[in-house]
Structure 1
């Protein structure tokens, strides 16, 4: 699946119509969720039942009928996705909260399927054909959407962000791009002092995007509370604050994807720790720095590019990777402030480099013991009884 995104240029009344479609999507999702909550236990509702209920909503409310029928079905599918995720977490006995579905108050997108829109065959324009009155929208971007057959476009989303509205095309094409083997293997140890340290001793600097912009973000946040509630000035101040966070988010995404792409292209085996970032964020002394470095985002991009380029990405258990000597295997206890690993066998390394070598060794053991990998080029973690997808989502 390939996703192409354009920024939308339209008139004021068109933006208002898009906002109305987004609110309708939220209304349908919440109504379906309430329908599931109020249903008797023996009813055993499923996704088909919610789709059927969404049709009843179209007959009952005119503003729902004005939205494309497939967009209404997509809204019901969003509700069922939250419900099924809750069921799966309960079935798999996930630790902590199970994610009971909640009503949505800040929906920011509306999703169309294969109808409700018409793409201009020449110009970068799209016309929404339902009765919401959105009309023709101009698409700004460098992607060539006309290069793909219209029948391959499976979804069209209109998304609201802090700096405007965007249009996303979900295209059902194979995004794989196999690369030749390099015969290189690498282990990665993520950290706060550096973005990551690999098994070759290289340390990628930590950009610290939020730390650099923290003063400006705090100033923008204080301006919000100096304005009168529900006033135009407060709305503008909130917009400035949101755009600053959006910029930081985009910086993190661009940095993580660029570094991950380079690492995956340069190596045939990429090993990394299977960190439970959610648990690490409970440390109030390091939570802000851990969030700023975006370990989870970096891992997602590594796994994405590993599947795209046909490389092997292995997540290993992080236990004792920093304490164990990579040379002789002896456990050398050290505090977090001790940055150098010194062992009685004569091995002296930076603690992160020592951990990266241990991570690579564990990945090699997992690879040699694994008979086959899945289609995405990912091998199951060394944690027994766990799946890689389940570990990523948690």
Structure 2
């Protein structure tokens, strides 16, 4: 699934209509959660029947397109299904009990409720929310795709304006010649990552760099009177800066992941549990600032797109084990140099990257040009060390194309 995004341009009245549609979708979702709480054991079909009842009972719900109401029901049921799955898997801690939303930022339409112009530069929403015709600002051309390929259309509100996303059903695969190279990656806080060849990519620290301006904007928000127009303006400026930092982090991870995947036939990385790592409050902010999850997400996506093999390796003892002789050398986080009794002295992260690559090669065996065989790679790209390659876990299959 390909996600193509455009900036939406319209009048102030149209933006207010978009906000009303978003609030209506939020209302339908919250009503569905409430109905499930009062009637345990209801399924998705029961929630669809509830949507019809809401449309008959509330005129503002009936004004929203029926497919958008169904999409809101599906969002509610996905949170319910996720809660049940977590309970069945006996996940420790909170199971993700469904909650009511109070600040939704998007509404989703299916194949009805909207219409593209002949030039594909404008979109008209045909429900009774009075959104009307919006101009699409962006460099991507929708003429390359058939209307039947567009499965969903989202309206999203962000701090810097409104956006329209098109979810297009395409197979984005690119055939590339083999490189004959393999690489292991060890992510960190000091450096963004260190590979098995000894190269280190610096960590840009976008949040740390912008923290001074963030504090300034946060102080401006706290000084304004609650409910005033000046406070809303200050909150918008603060949100724009947060949005800029998140975009910088995402684009940085995407650029590096694409370069790594295109240059190597096999990429091995750590199977980190970020949720557990951020429990260390001394390192939580730095870990979130690096963006390890975004990097892994794009590694797996580009692995599928370019027919490369990506393997998630168990990170246990990758930093403690000597990559030369295999001995275990205990060291704390402050010890940045690996010194072994065998005489092997190397940077700690470099040693870990070599161990990660060895663990991945130990799983796959000899890796050659056969990786690019479509029957070998299939539609999956990520697996854990020790698992059978034909049972690999499929990775993300959508790429966000932002303007």
Same fold (TM over 0.5): yes
User: More displaced, 171-180 or 241-250?
Assistant: 171-180
Q: Say whether residues 1:282 and 2:251 are aligned partners.
A: no
Name the CA distance, whole Å, in 1 between partners of 2:350 and 2:326. Answer: 15
User: More displaced, 198-207 or 342-351?
Assistant: 342-351
Name the CA distance, whole Å, in 1 between partners of 2:147 and 2:124. Answer: 14
Report the RMSD for the aligned CA atoms in angstroms: 2.0
Equivalence map 1:1-394=2 (5 Å): 1-39=1-39, 41=40, 44-368=41-365, 375-382=378-385
TM-score (norm 2): 0.93
1:285 Cα deviation from its structure 2 partner: 1.2
Name the CA distance, whole Å, in 2 between partners of 1:219 and 1:285. Answer: 23
Name the CA distance, whole Å, in 1 between partners of 2:76 and 2:333. Answer: 44
Name the CA distance, whole Å, in 2 between partners of 1:66 and 1:388. Answer: 45
Name the CA distance, whole Å, in 2 between partners of 1:274 and 1:289. Answer: 18
1:224 Cα deviation from its structure 2 partner: 0.6
The 3-state SS of whatever aligns with 1:207 is coil
Contact 1:2 1:170 in 2 (8 A): yes
Name the CA distance, whole Å, in 2 between partners of 1:253 and 1:103. Answer: 28
Paired residue total: 388
CA offsets 1:127-163 (integer angstroms, 9 cap, x no match): 0000000000000000001221111100000000010
Name the CA distance, whole Å, in 2 between partners of 1:379 and 1:255. Answer: 21
1:319 Cα deviation from its structure 2 partner: 0.6
List structure 1 segments (4+ residues) > 3 angstroms apart after TM superposition: 368-377, 387-392
The 3-state SS of whatever aligns with 2:365 is helix
Name the CA distance, whole Å, in 2 between partners of 1:383 and 1:26. Answer: 44
TM-score (norm 1): 0.95
CA offsets 1:139-193 (integer angstroms, 9 cap, x no match): 0000001221111100000000010000000001111113221111000000011
Name the CA distance, whole Å, in 1 between partners of 2:48 and 2:215. Answer: 44
Name the CA distance, whole Å, in 2 between partners of 1:298 and 1:391. Answer: 13
5+ long unaligned stretches in structure 2: 397-403
Corresponding residue of 2:399: none
Which structure would you say has the larger RCO, counting Cα contacts within 8 Å and 6 or more residues apart?
Answer: 2
Contact 1:311 1:377 in 2 (8 A): no
The 3-state SS of whatever aligns with 2:210 is helix
5+ long unaligned stretches in structure 1: none
Contact 2:380 2:394 in 1 (8 A): no
Contact 2:3 2:166 in 1 (8 A): yes
Name the CA distance, whole Å, in 2 between partners of 1:391 and 1:261. Answer: 15
